[in-house]
Structure 1
Amino acid sequence: MKRILLPAGGALLATGLVAAGLSGTAQAADDIAKDPMATNTKAAYSVAAFWMRSNYAALRNATAYTWDAADVKKVVQKGGYSPDGRPGQTAPQSAGSGKSQNVNLPKTIGKVFFVDASGKYRWCSATSIQSNYRNLVATAAHCVYDTDGNRDVMDRWVFVPGYYQGKAPFGIYVGKQAFTHYDFTTYEDYDRDYAFVTVYNGIGHDRRKFVDAGRLGDNVGGQGISWNQPSGKPVRAFGYPYAPHPDGNKVYSGVTPKTCYGPTTGKKVGASWLKIEEHVGLKCAVTPGYDGGPWLKNYSNAKRLGYVNGVTSTFADQDGNDRIDWITSPYFDGETADVYNAAKNVWSGKVVGPNGELYK
């Protein structure tokens, strides 16, 4: 399915194929697209410094990624899901014993921050996910690729797990390489609105110098992932809602993550105005800023771990009262697993050395 779509946070592009610049340097192997972010330690150091200067002022000044309230409508359920292969999953990883501000929420949950095409500081939600090098983040593709500016990836992209009131308790993790489905980067197919991003080791502060904070998965753990799973099963979704409902009512601060729990839809979710045909729906009255947050299947409250089986992509108003009451996600199938498997084995490395020097 090749088509032009509108994200939960973005503007509709002209009809026809998306400008060639969007695919730009993407290297597509089968259905997998790869894009560089901070390609070396010097670039990564500069990105981290941008967000960390003046006591993390840029993080506090960021706002939830934009979206068009006119596109929050009722979605339609039609037909069942057709897995493209056998069900599969990768188990989650536990982390060390470090403490989190939000003791009742997973340490893996956080915000991705970036600079959009207009130069504004933005965020989406995301999670650390299991990988061989403990360096991988899962989020929505529209929180990684700049569909509005016809660039490849968002500028100065970082992940901050456990984000709380302008603080980065586990450090800042600079994106190194983004992996997504070729259909999203080339055609903006929001049935493929998911991304996996490798990140460098975290960077923290110690007596006014940068220090290596270690690998993401070692610090916060990593959620598992599952694909080709039966629909209609319960999931627990996480994210940082912030923007107002279409009626202007703003009930969330974006300061701490919120959670929803319930069964996903047993039928495919479609949104003709967005040209979405194969999403999964979940009853959840959150707002943008929640974009990219994980939907966790078989979530354990005791371990704070589960299996990522979706990420928040769009928002819907099912009862027509100008309030968001549903969220939707792409259905995770074998092609999702292909993108994830390509990303999970890619090494990233350190940005700073033991004395705060640039690592080479």
Structure 2
Amino acid sequence: MIRRRLLALGVGVGLLGATAVATPAQAADVVSAPLASMANGQQVATFWLADGGANLKSATPYAPTTEVHGERTSDAVVPSGKPGLVVPVAPEAEGQLPQTSGKVFFVGADGQPHWCSGTAVQSQYRNLVATDAHCVYDMEGAPATVDKWAFVPGYTEGTTPFGLYVGKQAFTHYDFTQYKDQDRDFAFVNVYYGVVPSASGALTSNGRLADIVGAQGLAFNQPIDQTTTPTVDVFGYPAGPNPDGTRPYTGATLERSTGQTFVMRLSDPPADQPVGVDSPFTGEGALGSSWLQTYSDDQGLGYLNGITTGVSDTDGDGRYDTGVSPYFDTGLYLIFRAAAATWSGRITIT
């Protein structure tokens, strides 16, 4: 049986979604863990940026179990509260389109560098990244955060065009860390100001994440039923093979797919209310890919309404056709709200 706490909070729309008062029990659902202190943040950045970014280039897509088994259904989701929105924000530089998608880098329990996908999300201190919880927590043994976590927005073939952002604090749901609940497989990470190497090799600060690349909004408790099947744009860095062995993606550059969402019924791993999207992304590298609702090509902005936590071949033809995400409900909003109000600061003095 899946343990899942059902929340019933009234939520409206505002600058950061809306106000919702958490009871002590609901507050206990928020799990927070440190990733890097200011003192060792420079060491983390140097690890990734040294030798022309050698460790970034040698990192491999993180590959826990990415395939899920299930079927598409015509069921409707059951929201745990009123629909809510958090508004996106454009970069500060005039005329600069948002570049919110990127790679999440970290060193896994095997001691090797790996990567997932992630995206910048609006927050009070403009310092927040959304990704798959598996890309923050190692769940093979006792739950523990991964090492040397960093985010590179706009990553393309080994480059860091907008700097590198070291993770400070991670937030996820209690039910994921304690029960590996598929419905809570998401995480939000606060990052320090970005850093870039100077001509002398020293690290220089280049500002807050959302100020530099913009940040996507957030949508939660949105309807999905037989008559309402929102279309989302999925952004990520898939790299793994299909079941038939074909490799349509390399993971070197950002990929995009567009498809309708629907309710899934999973047999392995079990989940209460998973959501699917028509997407050909393979699993390795795509974990943490953002699902953006009402995405505008002109503005480069939309509302995060899903995060890829697995992929599925629902028609049995040997190729993945479906991305799977937890349904974004009030429980997710509570985790987001805690992370969105957390300050980070900078790891350099210049």
Return the TM-score normalized by structure 1. 0.86
Letter in 2 for 1:274: P
Q: Aligned AA for 2:80?
A: D
Aligned mates of 1:108, 1:239 — CA distance in 2: 11
2:268 counterpart residue number: 273
1:113 aligned to which of 74, 96, 105: 105
- The 1:250/1:98 distance shift into structure 2, 3 A limit, reads farther
Which contiguous aligned blocks of 4+ residues in structure 1 show a shift greater than 6 angstroms? Answer: none
In the other structure, the counterpart of 1:238 is 235
- TM, length-normalised to structure 2: 0.88
CA contact (8 A) 2:128 2:209 kept: yes
Matches within 5 A, 1:1-360: 2=2, 29-38=27-36, 40-68=37-65, 71-77=67-73, 79-97=75-93, 106-207=98-199, 208-231=201-224, 232-265=229-262, 268-288=263-283, 289-354=285-350
Could you tell me how far apart the structure 2 residues matched to 1:85 and 1:72 are?
28
How far apart, in 2, do the equivalents of 1:174 and 1:99 lie? Answer: 26
What letter corresponds to residue 109 of structure 1 in structure 2? S
Q: Which runs of 5+ in 2 are unaligned?
A: 5-25
Return the alpha-carbon distance in structure 1 between the equivalents of residues 129 and 247 of structure 2: 28
How many Å apart are 1:98 and its aligned residue? 7.8
| Amino acid aligned to 1:179 | F
Q: 1:99 to 1:287 in 2, by over 3 A?
A: farther
- The superposition leaves residues 88-142 of structure 1 with CA deviations (integer Å, 9 ceiling, x where unpaired) of 0110011033898xx8xx5000000011111121111000000010100011111
Q: In the TM superposition, what is the alpha-carbon distance from 1:149 to its structure 2 partner? A: 4.1
Q: How much does 1:68 deviate?
A: 4.1
Task: For residues 225-254 of structure 1, give each alpha carbon's deviation from its aligned partner in whole angstroms, at most 9, with x where no partner exists.
Answer: 010001211111100010111222111111
Structure 1 residues 57 and 3 mapped into 2: Cα distance closer, same or farther (>3 Å)? farther
- RMSD value over aligned CA atoms? 2.0
Are the counterparts in 2 of residues 287 and 324 from structure 1 also a CA contact under 8 Å? yes
Structure 1: distance between partners of 2:320 and 2:108: 24
SS at match of 2:320: coil
Secondary structure at the residue paired with 1:335?
helix
* Native 8 Å contact 2:236 2:255 kept in 1: yes
1:178, distance to aligned residue in structure 2 (A): 0.5
Amino acid at match of 1:55: G
8 A contact 1:135–1:198 mirrored in 2: yes
The count of aligned residue pairs is 324
SS at match of 1:191: helix
Cα gap change, 1:193/1:109 in structure 2, threshold over 3 Å: closer, same or farther?
Answer: same
1:339 Cα deviation (Å)?
0.6
Identify which range, 88-97 or 124-133, moves more after superposition.
88-97
Task: Go from structure 1 to structure 2 and tell me whether the alpha carbon gap of 1:313 and 1:113 turns closer, same or farther (over 3 Å shift).
Answer: same
CA distance in 2, matches of 1:215, 1:159: 12
CA deviation after TM superposition for structure 1 residue 335, in Å: 0.9
For residues 60 and 118 of structure 1, the distance between their equivalents in structure 2, rounded to whole angstroms, comes to 18
For the residue of structure 2 that corresponds to 1:89, the secondary structure is strand
In 2: Cα distance, 1:90 partner to 1:230 partner: 16
Q: Which residue of 2 aligns with 1:20?
A: none
SS in 2 for 1:249: coil
Query: What amino acid maps onto 2:282 in structure 1?
Result: T
Q: Retained in 1: the 8 A contact 2:72–2:314?
A: no
Amino acid at match of 2:333: A
In 1, Cα distance between equivalents of 2:51 and 2:258: 38
**Could you tell me how far 1:262 is from its partner in structure 2?**
1.9
Structure 1 stretches of 5 or more lacking a match?
5-27, 355-360
> CA separation in 2, counterparts of 1:321 and 1:73?
14
